Amino acid sequence: MTIQVDESSNSPMSDIEALEQRILSEIGAATDEPGLEAVRVAALGKKGAVSELLKSLGGMSPEERRENGPLFNGLRDRIALAIAERKTALAREALDARLAFERIDVTLPARPEPRGTIHPVSQVQDEITAIFADLGFAVAEGPDVEYDDYNFTKLNIPPDHPARQMHDTFYVARQNDGDRHVLRTHTSPVQARVMLKQKPPIRVIVPGRAYRRDSDATHTPMFHQLEALVIDEETNLGHLRWVVEQFCSAFFEVDRIELRARPSFFPFTEPSVEWDMRCDRSGGQIKFGTGNDWLELGGSGMVHSRVLEMCGIDPARYQGFAFGFGLDRMAMLKYGAPDLRAFFDSDLRWLRHYGFAALDLPTLDGGLSR
Amino acid sequence: MKFTLSWLKEHLETDADARTIAETLTLIGLEVESLEDRSAALKDFVVACVVSEEKHPNADKLKLCMVDTGGEVVQVVCGAPNAHTGMKGVFAPPGAVIPVSGEALKISAIRGVESRGMLCSERELLLSDEHLGIIELKTDLAPGASAAHALGLDDPLFDVAITPNRGDCTSVAGIARDLAAVGIGRLKTPAVTPVPGAFASPLRIGLHFSAGAEKACPIFAGRLIRNVRNGPSPPWLQARLRAIGLRPISALVDVTNFIANDRGRPLHVFDADKLQGNMQARLAREGESVKALDGRMYDLDPETIVIADDVRALSIAGIMGGEDTGCTEETRNVFVESAWFDAQRIAASGRELGIQSDARYRFERGTDPEFVVQGLELATKLILEFCGGEPAETVVAGAVPVARAQIVFSPKIVRRLAGIQLPDDLIRGILVSLGFTVEGDHELSVTSPSWRSDIEGPADLVEEVVRIHGIDNVAAQPMPRPHAVARSVLTPAQKRMRAARRTLAGRGFNETIGYAFIPRAHSALFGGGDEARQLENPISADMDALRPSVLPSLLAAAQRNAARGFSDQLLFEIGAQFESGIPGAQATAASGIRVGGAVRSWTKDAHGADAFDAKADILAVLEAAMGAPMSAPAKSGAPGWYHPGRCGTLALGPKVLAYFGELHPSVLAVFDLRAPVSAFEIFLDAIPESKAKSRARPLFQPSPFPAVERDFAFVVEAKVTAEDIVKSARSAERNLIERVDVFDVYEGTGVPEGKKSLAIAVRLQPKDRTLTDAEIDAVAQKIVAAVGKATGGTLRT
C-alpha cells in the first residue's frame, strides 16, 4: 500500500503523518517481544492512539468520514503490518541468538545401545530351513531325552548290536516308569517319530541337538545334526544325490560343486552312502568346488526296509532316503569358525565376532548370507 | 584293520600301486584312514658300497671313503667309526632331503676335502635314535638299488576303517576278495589243506548250554598238538606282525595273531599241561572270574561265554584268553581252540567288561562259521612248521550254524532303489565275484557266502552291486517340486521360536547355546538336583545333571565372561529344560539375563538391570511370538531363584507363560556375580496359538471426535498395586476410557508414612460426539469414586 499524502490538505493530515512516524519509529526501536507488545497496545489497543482515531470517525459527518475513513484505516493497516514484520524479525533474531549459543560435540559417542547377535548355529539352521522349504521339506522335532527304542531299536540297532558302539551314549538315571532313557545320540529317532505319525509322502528335515560321550579338540558332548527324510513311492539314490547337491550348492553358495559318494554302513539305511565334497584347503581358507581335497559331509542311504516296517510303513510300496550331516560343522566351514568347543562356551567376544544381526534373516530372494 | 601291500599281494595278484588300491578301497566302502608310504621319504636314497677308505688328511676322526653308488664312484667324508671297506650302506646323494633335518644335502668341503654325498645313520633317516655309526646293510642288492627296499620300508601300510557289518574284511584275504571283485587283480588266497591227526585226541570237548542259549556257541573245534617247541616265530612272520603294529610273542601266539589278521579267524592256544580234564564252552557261573592275559581279574556275569575245563573257567570266550593257561616258552603241549560265538553276545560282554581285543573286534562284526575247522587246520599246519610236534585228531562239538541267506532277487530292484539301470549280466557277475551263488534268470535265487552274515535281503544285494559298480556313478535325478511356489513350512511353534530369537537379539541380547547338562549343585538351585535328572555316565562330574532351567547355563556363561572382564552382559538361549529324565518331559524356554547394565556413559541415562527391564523383555517377546500385545497382568511372585520381593509371573489361566525379576542374591553368589542381575524365562510351548481365522485386519474406524486426557494422582496404601488402580479406573466408564497409563509413583515427603502417590493419565475417546466439560467432569468423578472404592485411595491435593 502506498501512503497518499495530499500536500494541500490541512493539519489533521500532518498530525496523522507525525503519529505514524512516531509509532513506526517506536516499532523499530522495540528490541524484544514485550516492548513491541507495549507499542502495539499504545497504538492499536483499546485505548491506543490509532484506535482512538478510528473511534473518532463515529462522530464525523458522512463527508468527513468519507475523507478520513480510508486515511485512518490505512494508517491502522500499515501499523499492524509493521508490527507483524517487526515481530517476525525479532523472533528470528532471538532464534539466531539462541542457536548461536547451542552447540554439541558431535564426536562424543552415540547413546549406548547393546548390539544383540544370533548364534551361528541358529543362523545356519534358518539358512538350511529356507533351502529345504523351497524343496518342500517341513521341519520336524523330537525330544532330547529319547526312548532307547526310537534312538536304536526302531532304527534297526537292536540291543548289543555292535553298531551301538558307534554311539557313545549318555544314559539318564532310571525313571519312575522303570525305564532307562538315553540322550539322543543322533537326530535320527525323529525319523521314527515322523513315520509313525505321518503317512507318505514325507519330506522333512530335523535340525537339532544330539549328544555323545565324546569330548576332545574336535568333539563336544553336545552337537547339532541336520537330518533329512524323504519317503514316497519312487525316491531313489539318484534323488538323494540331487538333493545333497542342490543343498550344498545353495548352502555354500557355490554354483558348481563336486560330490563323491562312498559306500558305508548305517544300520538304518541300505544301501548306505557317505558324501564328500571337493574342496581346496591350500590357501589357508577352504574353497568348494575346486581343489584336490575332500570334505566329509556325512552319512545317508535308502531307509532300511526293516526300519520302514517297524515304523508302520509298507516297504513293498514305499521307499526313500535319509541323511544326517553335522550342522555345527557346516557353520564352521561356511563362516570360518575353526573351534567347535567355542560354539558352546558363550564367550561374548566370540558371540559378537561370529554372531549375526537380528534382522539378517536368511531368505532365498535376499540371499542366505550377506 | 592294518595290512601292508606285500601282505595283500599274498592274496591278490595285482600290478596296481598302493595309491590306486587305497582309492579303490575307499570307493567300495572300505575307507582307508591312512596309507603310510614309508619309502617316499627315502626315494632318493640308494644302496652304496664302500670300495676304499683312508684317513682324512686334516682330521683324525674323519675318513675319506670312495663309495660305489651304482652309477659312479664318489668321494664321501665320513665320521662314523664303523665305516669300512666292503660294507654296504645307505647313501644320500646331493639334493636328497635328510629326514632328521628336513634339509637338502649339498656338495660341501669338509676340512678342505670335497664330500659328494653322505652315508646315513638310522637317526638321520628317523628310523631310531642310533647315531654313533652308519647303517650297515646286510643285503645282496647291488649298489644303486632302492635303500627303502633294502631296509624293508618299501611296503606301504594301509589302515582301513571296517564298518560293523563287514566282519569278512577284518582279514587281508577278505580285503583282497573285494579288490578282486572290483577288478584290482586276481584273488589267489591259498586253499587250506587238512592235516591228518597222528593219534586220537585224549581231550574231549563239549558244549554245555541250557535250552535257549545254544546260539551262543554252536560249534567248538579243538586240537591237541604234542611235543611242540615254542620259540620265536620265523622272521617273515615277525616282520608281518610288526609292520601292522603287533608285538611278536612266541610262535604259538604269533600263529593265532597271523591267522586272525590273514583270514579273520580268531583262535586261542592253551597250554594243555595246565588244563584239568576236558574242555567245554558254557556260560559263566555265578561268581566266576577269570584272570585274563592283560593281567587283570574280570568278574563274569552269567551271560558271558567262557571256555572251561572240568574245574574252572579258563578264558573269556571270543574276547581274551586267561593268563593261567596261556602258552609260554615252556609250553610243550598245546590245545588250539577254534569256535564260533554269537556276535551280539560278544559285543555285549566286551562292552560290559570294557575289553578291546582283536578277537572281539572280529567276533562282534561276524566271523565265517564255515572257516572254524579250516582255521584250525591252518593253525595246525603252521604250528607243525614252526614248532614241530604231533597233532591229535581234530575234535568238534556242535555243528556249523547256517550262515547263508537265500534271497529271491529281481535285478529290477537295483533300478528301483539305486536309480541306475545295469545289465543283468553285470549284476550277476558282481555277485558271483563276491562269492554269492546266483541261480535263475529274471527272478534270481541268490545264496550269500558263509562269510557275509550281514546279507539279509534284496536291499543288501543292491548295495553290493552298486558298491562294486561304483556308487559314485549313480547320477543325480531331480525330485519333483510339490508346489511351483514353495509353501511356508514352519509350524506356529517354530515361528514363535524364531520370533522370540530375533526379538531378543534385536533388543541387544547375544544368543548362546549351552550344554543340556550342568553341575548338580547348580541344578539344585533351580528346582533340580534330583535323581531323575541325573546322568548315569556323565562325561565329567560337573556335567552330571539335566538342567531344570536354562538360567544356570546363562549364569555360568556370565561368570566366565565376567572373568574375561565383561561387567555388562545381555545373554539369552532358546533351548530345552528338563522336568525329569522321561522323553517329552522337557519344555522349550527362551531365557535371558541382564547382568550389570550400569554402563558408564557420558549420557548418564543408564541404570542397573532390574525387574522392569526383564518385564519389557518378556512383553516384547510375547508380542512378537503371539502377534498381539500381551494383555494379562503380571502377578507378584516367581520360583525361589528369583528375589522374593522383586519378581513376577505372567500366566494365562493355569498356564505360566513367563517368570521375570531380579535373581536371588544367594543364587548370584554361587556364580560370583554381584547384583543386579535381572532374568526372565519364557515358556514358548505355553504361548497360545492365534485363533484368528482370517488374514484380514478388523476394519480401521478412527473416531472423528477429539480424545481428552485427564491426570489423577491418588494417595493409596503402599501395598495397593498399580494394576488395582488402573483396573478400577478403567472400570469407571468402559465405553469412554480408551486407556489408563501410570506416569508417576512417589513415596516420601508430602505423602504420609505407609502410603504412596500414584498418578495416572486417563484418555477418554468418545465415539459419537464431542465431550462437554460437564461430561468430562462427571467421568472424572466416577473415576475418583471407583478408585476410592476399590483401593481406598483419595485424590492427592
Yes or no, beta carbons of A135 and B347 under 8 Å apart: no
Q: Which three cell numbers stand for residue A323?
A: 541323511
User: Percent of chain B beyond pLDDT 70?
Assistant: 100
Arithmetic mean of pLDDT, B123-131: 79
From A190's Cα to the closest Cα of chain B, the distance in A is 12
Contacts of B36 (CB under 8 A, 6+ apart): B156, B157, B159
Q: Are B319 and B359 in contact (CB under 8 A)?
A: yes
Contacts of A284 (CB under 8 A, 6+ apart): none
Flag the least confident range among B218-232, B343-357, B596-610. B596-610
Q: Within an 8 Å CB–CB cutoff, is residue B566 touching chain A?
A: yes
Flag the least confident range among B116-120, B714-718, B764-768. B116-120
Q: What is the dihedral of CA B544, B549, B554, B555, to 10 degrees?
A: -80
Name the pLDDT band for A5 (thresholds 50, 70, 90).
very low
| C-alpha to C-alpha distance for B290 and B429, rounded to whole angstroms | 49
Of B459, B474, B557, the CB nearest to A241: B474
| pLDDT for the residue numbered B141 | 84
Contacts of B505 in chain A (CB under 8 A): 116-118, 355, 357-358
For residue B66, count other CB atoms closer than 10 A to its CB.
15
For residue B260, count other CB atoms closer than 10 A to its CB.
22
Chain B residue whose CA is closest to A126: B498
Q: Are A266 and A354 in contact (CB under 8 A)?
A: no
pLDDT (tens digit, 9 = 90+) per residue, A97-155?
Answer: 999 999 999 999 988 888 999 999 999 999 999 999 999 999 999 999 999 999 999 99
Arithmetic mean of pLDDT, B667-680: 92
Instruction: Report, in angstroms and rounded to the nearest whole number, the Rg of chain A calculated over CA atoms.
Output: 43
> A223 pLDDT exceeds 90?
yes
Yes or no, beta carbons of B561 and A237 under 8 Å apart: no
| pLDDT for the residue numbered B442 | 82
Instruction: Report, in angstroms and rounded to the nearest whole number, the Rg of chain B calculated over CA atoms.
Output: 42
Q: Are A90 and A40 in contact (CB under 8 A)?
A: no
For cell 610273542, name the residue.
B249
Yes or no, beta carbons of A133 and B489 under 8 Å apart: yes
| pLDDT for the residue numbered A292 | 87
Asked if the bond preceding B676 is cis, omega within 30° of 0, the reply is: yes
Backbone angles phi, psi at B702, to 5 degrees: -75, 145
Of B459, B474, B475, the CB nearest to A304: B459
Contacts of A150 in chain B (CB under 8 A): 583
Yes or no, beta carbons of A175 and B478 under 8 Å apart: no
Arithmetic mean of pLDDT, B398-427: 92
Contacts of A343 in chain B (CB under 8 A): 513
| pLDDT for the residue numbered A12 | 61
| pLDDT for the residue numbered A3 | 44
Flag the least confident range among A109-113, B710-714, B741-745. A109-113
Yes or no, beta carbons of A173 and B532 under 8 Å apart: yes
Name the pLDDT band for B624 (thresholds 50, 70, 90).
very high
| C-alpha to C-alpha distance for B77 and B67, rounded to whole angstroms | 10
From A148's Cα to the closest Cα of chain B, the distance in A is 10
Q: Which of A106, A160, A305, A327 to mutate to test the interface with B (most CBs of B within 10 A)?
A: A160
Of A117, A222, A345, the CB nearest to B510: A117
Q: Are B653 and B558 in contact (CB under 8 A)?
A: no
Yes or no, beta carbons of A361 and B507 under 8 Å apart: no
Asked if the bond preceding A267 is cis, omega within 30° of 0, the reply is: no
Q: Are B672 and B562 in contact (CB under 8 A)?
A: yes
Q: Are B221 and B394 in contact (CB under 8 A)?
A: yes
Contacts of B45 (CB under 8 A, 6+ apart): B90, B91, B92, B96, B120, B125, B146, B147, B148
Arithmetic mean of pLDDT, B265-285: 95
Highest mean pLDDT out of A66-75, A244-253, B153-162: A244-253
Name the pLDDT band for B55 (thresholds 50, 70, 90).
confident
Name the pLDDT band for B152 (thresholds 50, 70, 90).
confident
pLDDT: is A10 or A199 the higher one? Answer: A199
Chain A residue whose CA is closest to B165: A265
Nearest to A248 by CA among A237, A259, A260: A259
Of B457, B537, B586, the CB nearest to A213: B537
Flag the least confident range among B42-51, B143-152, B339-348, B364-373. B143-152
Arithmetic mean of pLDDT, B336-357: 92
Of A144, A214, A263, the CB nearest to B28: A263
Arithmetic mean of pLDDT, B258-278: 96
From B553's Cα to the closest Cα of chain A, the distance in A is 9
| C-alpha to C-alpha distance for A70 and A76, rounded to whole angstroms | 10
Q: Within an 8 Å CB–CB cutoff, is residue B418 touching chain A?
A: yes
Contacts of A214 in chain B (CB under 8 A): 539
Yes or no, beta carbons of A215 and B539 under 8 Å apart: yes
Q: Are B86 and B50 in contact (CB under 8 A)?
A: yes
Q: What is the ipTM of this complex?
A: 0.87
Chain A residue whose CA is closest to B482: A136
| pLDDT for the residue numbered A1 | 38
3-state helix, strand, coil in chain B (%, to 5): 30, 25, 45
- The number of C-beta contacts closer than 8 angstroms across A and B is 295
Q: Which three cell numbers stand for residue A24?
A: 513506526
| pLDDT for the residue numbered A4 | 47
Q: Are A231 and A320 in contact (CB under 8 A)?
A: yes
Name the pLDDT band for A2 (thresholds 50, 70, 90).
very low
| C-alpha to C-alpha distance for A121 and A332, rounded to whole angstroms | 9
Backbone angles phi, psi at B456, to 5 degrees: -125, -35
How would DSSP label each residue in B732-796?
TTTTTEEEEEEEEEE-STTS-TTEEEEEEEEEE--SSSPPPHHHHHHHHHHHHHHHHHHH--EE-
Flag the least confident range among A207-216, B149-158, B483-492, B672-681. B149-158
Yes or no, beta carbons of B490 and A129 under 8 Å apart: yes
| C-alpha dist (Å) from residue B257 to B8, B87, B262, B342, B580 | 16, 37, 8, 21, 49
In this prediction the pTM is: 0.85
Q: Which three cell numbers stand for residue A141?
A: 522335532
> B127 pLDDT exceeds 80?
no
Average pLDDT, chain B: 92
In the 3-class helix/strand/coil scheme, how is B28-76 assigned residue by residue? Answer: CCCEEEEEECCCHHHCCCEEEEEEEEEECCCCCCCEEEEEECCCCEEEE
Of B347, B514, B535, the CB nearest to A172: B535
- What residues 521-560 of chain B have any CB closer than 8 A to a CB of chain A? 531-540, 543, 546, 553-554, 557, 560
Q: Within an 8 Å CB–CB cutoff, is residue B354 touching chain A?
A: no
Nearest to B732 by CA among B791, B773, B772: B791
Of A272, A344, A349, the CB nearest to B515: A344
| C-alpha to C-alpha distance for A223 and A239, rounded to whole angstroms | 27
- The region that residue A255 occupies, defined by phi over 0 for left and psi between -120 and 50 for alpha, beta otherwise, is alpha
Of A111, A209, A238, the CB nearest to B474: A238
Yes or no, beta carbons of A262 and B26 under 8 Å apart: yes
Asked if the bond preceding A271 is cis, omega within 30° of 0, the reply is: yes
Nearest to A156 by CA among A272, A274, A317, A326: A272
| pLDDT for the residue numbered A11 | 59
From B524's Cα to the closest Cα of chain A, the distance in A is 16
DSSP-assigned beta bridge partners for residue A259? A277
Chain A residue whose CA is closest to B346: A160
pLDDT (tens digit, 9 = 90+) per residue, B310-339?
Answer: 999 999 999 999 999 999 999 999 999 999
Chain A residue whose CA is closest to B499: A358
Average pLDDT, chain A: 90
Arithmetic mean of pLDDT, B16-39: 92
From B569's Cα to the closest Cα of chain A, the distance in A is 8
| C-alpha to C-alpha distance for A268 and A111, rounded to whole angstroms | 57
Chain B residue whose CA is closest to A242: B476
Chain A residue whose CA is closest to B538: A170
Backbone angles phi, psi at B656, to 5 degrees: -80, 120
Yes or no, beta carbons of A271 and B462 under 8 Å apart: yes
Arithmetic mean of pLDDT, B690-713: 90
Q: Are B209 and B36 in contact (CB under 8 A)?
A: no
Name the pLDDT band for A7 (thresholds 50, 70, 90).
very low
**Amino acid letter at B772?**
T
Q: Which three cell numbers stand for residue A88?
A: 517476525
Contacts of B462 in chain A (CB under 8 A): 270-271
| pLDDT for the residue numbered A312 | 95
Backbone angles phi, psi at B275, to 5 degrees: -90, 150
Contacts of B408 in chain A (CB under 8 A): none
Strand extents, DSSP E, chain A: 138-139, 145-146, 170-171, 182-183, 202-211, 222-232, 259-266, 269-280, 287-288, 293-303, 319-326
Report the SS3 class of residue A335.
Answer: helix
- What residues 22-51 of chain B have any CB closer than 8 A to a CB of chain A? 26-29, 31
Of A121, A262, A348, the CB nearest to B31: A262
DSSP-assigned beta bridge partners for residue A170? A183
Chain A residue whose CA is closest to B468: A263
pLDDT (tens digit, 9 = 90+) per residue, B582-594?
Answer: 999 999 999 999 9
| β pairing state of B46-55 and B88-92 | antiparallel
Q: Which three cell numbers stand for residue B362?
A: 572280529
Name the pLDDT band for B154 (thresholds 50, 70, 90).
confident
Of B476, B581, B605, the CB nearest to A175: B581
Nearest to A263 by CA among B743, B460, B470: B470
Yes or no, beta carbons of A165 and B164 under 8 Å apart: yes
Name the pLDDT band for A162 (thresholds 50, 70, 90).
low
Of B477, B482, B557, the CB nearest to A239: B477
Nearest to B158 by CA among B43, B258, B18, B42: B18
Nearest to B74 by CA among B41, B59, B52, B58: B52
> A9 pLDDT exceeds 80?
no
